[in-house]
């Protein structure tokens, strides 16, 4: 009597289960705003002031009162000069202030005329002000940036759970914060399994033994973890032995939030991850309905979470992007962890529908469409280097040239 295999788990269901299991990290630390790029805010950033703090000029020119002009060509006395960082005196009708970008608008002025629309009639003499002709009819409010038009006092300018970007750091600085409260970095232990794996530099390509391959997964997984703000403990390559796998997992569980492995998550005789994790904690082995990347393991070893990725490099790359990335972002308190999906035109044919949801490696072209890498095998890492995105192709779906498909940029998945 044969036992039927459970059905493949849809990706959305797998992701929902994964995210439902996450308890965000509670530890918070203060870091310099200079050093907070990519970190996740642990509390709202609330502005204690308005930005800009007062009305100011958005142009180099002349500040004046519109009511003092009867039409184009009026000549005004230039009674003061106001630069950014200084303040002016009240203006009277018939007067103008020479003003520069960012300088406060003086009392009595309600417009700025840019210098290109003015003509200096006379330079300032020792006992007389300069005079300027206004060659246009200004409108009240023109070229004035109003106080608080960017930020009002007490406004939440950066919300808790936001992953900080360079623009976010600038916003924090704009409201006067030199340090920010952020969630501590996730601690991740990373190792690969497989006696076939060799590290670059250990053996020259010409001297590789039959069946050996260089460990590429270790390099891109480590880089992807670091881009997500993790502190990575690289435990190297673990031999294909049960005892070695158990020892590596036990050691990694002591001071890490997540143990991430690649390879050994299937059910073969040399795949020791499953029984090793089960002996130390618990494991769910999911067969996910995606291509590439069907085998995926999730569980725990002691207090540490465990995720096991497939060994094929593109499978490992794609499953990390689609499942591990949102897991780690949610662990840091990020709420919106979904990548941006946009519609794009396929400039290729894909006549072979698959029962699994496919993630095809593609590249945007100069015509605004998508080109397909010719070899979509899960072992061809070249496709991920060449491509700049993935087509999210539904199960059973063929693609004909000109069809609209769902595109996810790798820049969204790798940051």
What pLDDT, in 10s, does the model give residues 216-226?
Answer: 889 999 999 99
Let me know: does 311 contact 264? Beta carbons within 8 Å: yes
Q: Where do the DSSP E strands lie in 17-140?
A: 28-32, 45-46, 56-57, 61-64, 74-82, 95-99, 111-114, 118-122, 130-134
Which CATH code, of 3.20.20.70, 3.40.980.10, 3.50.50.60, 2.40.50.100, is assigned to 11-25+185-331? 3.40.980.10
pLDDT < 70: residue spans in the chain: 1-5, 124-126, 264-271
Residue 365: how many CB atoms within 10 A of its CB? Answer: 11
pLDDT digits (tens, 9 = 90+) for 200-244: 888 888 888 998 888 888 999 999 999 999 999 998 888 888 888
| Superfamily for domain range 28-51+150-183 | Molybdopterin biosynthesis moea protein, domain 2 (3.90.105.10)
Which CATH code, of 3.30.70.1520, 1.10.760.10, 3.40.50.11890, 2.170.190.11, is assigned to 56-145? 2.170.190.11
pLDDT of residue 1: 44
pLDDT of residue 193: 81
Angle at alpha carbon of residue 269, lines to 358 and 284, rounded to 5°: 55
Tell me how far CA of residue 322 lies from CA of 11, 206, 334, 407, in angstroms: 9, 36, 15, 13
Q: Is the peptide bond before 292 cis (omega within 30 degrees of 0)?
A: yes
pLDDT of residue 269: 46
What CATH architecture is 341-413?
Answer: Beta Barrel (2.40)
Task: State the Cα–Cα distance between residues 283 and 296, nearest whole angstrom.
Answer: 11
pLDDT of residue 404: 98
pTM of the predicted model as reported, rounded to 2 decimal places: 0.87
């Amino acid at each position: 009597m044969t036992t039927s295999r459970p059905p493949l788990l849809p990706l959305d269901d797998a992701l929902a289960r994964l995210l439902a299991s996450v308890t965000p990290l509670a530890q918070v630390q203060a870091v310099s705003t200079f050093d907070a790029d990519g970190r996740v805010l642990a509390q709202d950033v609330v502005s204690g002031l308005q930005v800009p703090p007062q009305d100011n000029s958005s142009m180099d020119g002349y500040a004046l009162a519109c009511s003092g002009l009867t039409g184009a060509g009026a000549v005004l006395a230039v009674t003061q000069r106001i630069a950014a960082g200084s303040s002016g005196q009240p203006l009277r009708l018939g007067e103008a202030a020479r003003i520069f970008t960012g300088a406060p608008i003086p009392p009595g002025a309600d417009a700025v005329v840019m210098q290109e629309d003015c003509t200096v009639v006379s330079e300032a003499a020792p006992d007389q002000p300069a005079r300027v002709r206004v060659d246009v009819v200004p409108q009240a409010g023109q070229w004035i940036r109003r106080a608080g038009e960017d930020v009002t006092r007490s406004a939440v300018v950066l919300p808790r759970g936001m992953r900080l970007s360079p623009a976010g750091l600038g916003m924090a600085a704009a409201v006067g914060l030199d340090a920010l409260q952020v969630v501590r970095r996730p601690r991740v232990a990373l190792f690969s399994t497989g006696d076939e794996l060799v590290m670059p530099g250990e053996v020259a390509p010409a001297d590789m033994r039959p069946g050996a391959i260089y460990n590429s997964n270790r390099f891109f997984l480590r880089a992807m973890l670091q881009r997500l703000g993790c502190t990575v403990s690289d435990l190297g390559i673990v031999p294909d032995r049960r005892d070695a796998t158990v020892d590596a997992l036990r050691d990694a569980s002591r001071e890490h939030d997540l143990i991430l492995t690649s390879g050994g998550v299937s059910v073969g005789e040399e795949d020791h991850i499953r029984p090793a994790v089960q002996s130390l904690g618990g494991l769910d082995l999911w067969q996910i309905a995606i291509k590439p990347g069907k085998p995926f393991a999730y569980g725990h070893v002691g207090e540490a979470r465990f995720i096991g990725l497939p060994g094929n490099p593109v499978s490992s790359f794609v499953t990390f992007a689609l499942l591990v990335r949102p897991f780690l972002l949610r662990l840091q308190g990020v709420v919106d962890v979904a990548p941006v999906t946009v519609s794009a035109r396929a400039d290729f044919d894909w006549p072979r529908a698959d029962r699994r949801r496919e993630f095809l490696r593609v590249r945007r072209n100069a015509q605004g469409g998508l080109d397909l890498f010719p070899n979509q095998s899960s072992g061809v890492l070249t496709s991920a280097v060449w491509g700049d995105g993935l087509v999210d192709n539904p199960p059973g779906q063929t693609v004909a040239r000109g069809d609209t498909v769902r595109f996810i940029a790798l820049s969204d998945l790798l940051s």
